[in-house]
Amino acid sequence: MTRIFSGMQPTRQLHLGNYLGALRNWVELQNSFECIFCVVDLHALTIDQDPEVLRNNIREVTAAYIAAGIDPDKNILFNQSFVPGHSELSWILSCHAPIGWLNRMTQFKEKAGKQRDLANLGLYAYPVLMAADILLYKATHVPVGEDQKQHLELARDIAGAFNRRYETEFFPLPEPQILGEATRVMSLRDGTKKMSKSDESEYSRINMTDDADTIAQKIRKAKTDPEPLPDTVADLEKRPEADNLVTIYAALAGQTREQVVQQFAGAQFSGFKAALVDLAVAKLAPITRRMKDLLADKAEIDRLLRKGGERAAAIAEKNLNDVKDIIGL
Ligand code: ADP
Ligand code: NA
């Protein structure tokens, strides 16, 4: 049986990387598989949050899921903190995860920065909570962007360690699904950094709530080099910013990067950026509009989350009881 689980943090707004790297793929998958889509609000606590802002961001991410095409009736759509099993299983799994495994996680090193001792324990334990999110539902597949590959490997390792320790096949080993042309969208300001919610620069990312003028401004200001577009994808290799804009264009247009490069070979970036603005606005504006409509009725969003949460909790409770049985609790 295939069961899909994935989620996004309600930290600031969702951006183009979240959309192209993950959310858009979920919309495809929901037609063929049983899917559980989560707003991972407990993960958001790993950075300092204003309570009112957090409450609102949970609704905003929910609205973005639905506006992008996730059907809240066909899928289980909920927020993580509604189901207590995430935290509980996270503790159990953390007692089966050697610290050495966590010490290898590159995202922690990046996010903790130089003053690692001041980083909170939650940021360090984040990948174990993520493993719990997935394993709580015995999910088999996890559609994510490339940045989550290492965390998924850890989830598999933890599941495997648990299964071996208790001589069971209880947890499936979840497989990452890294799909599409834009599995790693880079910052618009720095082609060596991924586009991220936690980047302090607003101009580094296009948010799903940006209006047409803001999108245009951000793309116009995006860093490039002085060369025109090449005529082969191979020639983009040492040009990370140019490569990123071509990748974004390809993903939005539903083309391959080769097709985009062929179409724009020899063009200056000013012209290419203008085409990219038109494309990005055309693709994002309807989603943004739908998000606004949904957010006008906050009570309805809360109701949908609660309904999804109850469905999620039913699966979670059964699995957690089985886990407790296995380990002697
Ligand atoms: P962020 O890293 O921006 O805080 P999340 O950690 O909430 O976002 O990630 C949500 C999903 O979006 C994950 O599947 C992640 O792999 C994907 N994702 C995040 N950033 C990017 C990116 N720049 N390119 C492609 N996918 C991304
Ligand atoms: Na991430």
Give pLDDT tens digits for 266-299. 999 999 999 999 999 999 999 999 999 999 999 9
Domain interval for residue 223: 210-292
Name the least confident of 86-90, 108-112, 159-163: 108-112
Whether the per-residue pLDDT at 12 is higher than 90: the answer is no
Distance 329 CA to ligand 2 centre (A): 33
Co-location of 64 and 154 in the same domain: yes
Output the domain CATH number for residue 44: 3.40.50.620
- The predicted complex's ipTM stands at 0.96
Domain assignment present for residue 202? The answer is: no
Please work out whether the CB of residue 184 comes within 6 Å of at least one atom of ligand 1.
Answer: yes
Co-location of 234 and 179 in the same domain: no
Tokens representing residue 65 in the block: 């899921």
- CA angle 213–216–218, rounded 5-degree value: 110
Q: How far apart are CA 318 and CA 53, in angstroms?
A: 33
Q: How far apart are CA 137 and CA 287, in angstroms?
A: 29
Co-location of 22 and 113 in the same domain: yes
Q: What pLDDT score was predicted for residue 45? A: 97
Q: Which of 24, 105, 147, 190 to mutate to test the pocket of ligand 1 (most atoms within 8 A of CB)?
A: 147
- CA angle 231–233–237, rounded 5-degree value: 120
Contact yes or no for 40/133 (Cβ under 8 A): yes
Average pLDDT, the chain: 97
**Burial of 319 by CB count in 10 Å (0-12 exposed, 13-18 middle, 19+ buried)?**
middle
Contact yes or no for 315/133 (Cβ under 8 A): no
Co-location of 105 and 158 in the same domain: yes
Q: How far apart are CA 158 and CA 144, in angstroms?
A: 18
pLDDT, one tens digit per residue, over 70-88 is 999 999 999 999 999 999 9
pLDDT, one tens digit per residue, over 36-49 is 999 999 999 999 99
pLDDT band per the 50, 70, 90 thresholds, residue 193: very high
Co-location of 164 and 16 in the same domain: yes
310's CB contacts (< 8 A; 6+ apart) are: none
Co-location of 227 and 161 in the same domain: no
Q: What pLDDT score was predicted for residue 198? A: 84
Q: How far apart are CA 177 and CA 174, in angstroms?
A: 10
| Mean pLDDT of all residues in 168-182 | 96
Domain assignment present for residue 188? The answer is: no
Which sequence positions are flagged as catalytic? 111, 194, 197
Please tell me whether residue 176 adopts helix, strand or coil conformation: strand
Co-location of 306 and 270 in the same domain: no
Co-location of 273 and 309 in the same domain: no
Domain assignment present for residue 261? The answer is: yes
Whether the per-residue pLDDT at 5 is higher than 90: the answer is yes
Name the domain count of the chain. 2
Domain assignment present for residue 99? The answer is: yes
126's CB contacts (< 8 A; 6+ apart) are: 43, 46, 107, 108, 151
Domain assignment present for residue 17? The answer is: yes
Co-location of 14 and 153 in the same domain: yes
Give the predicted TM-score (pTM) of the model.
0.96
Co-location of 171 and 234 in the same domain: no
Q: What pLDDT score was predicted for residue 143? A: 97
Co-location of 143 and 258 in the same domain: no
Ligand 1 atom showing the smallest separation from residue 197 Cα: 3
- The structure tokens 């099993």 sit at 85
Ligand 1 atom showing the smallest separation from residue 195 Cα: 23
Domain assignment present for residue 198? The answer is: no
Q: What pLDDT score was predicted for residue 252? A: 97
Ligand 1 atom showing the smallest separation from residue 143 Cα: 14
Co-location of 89 and 220 in the same domain: no
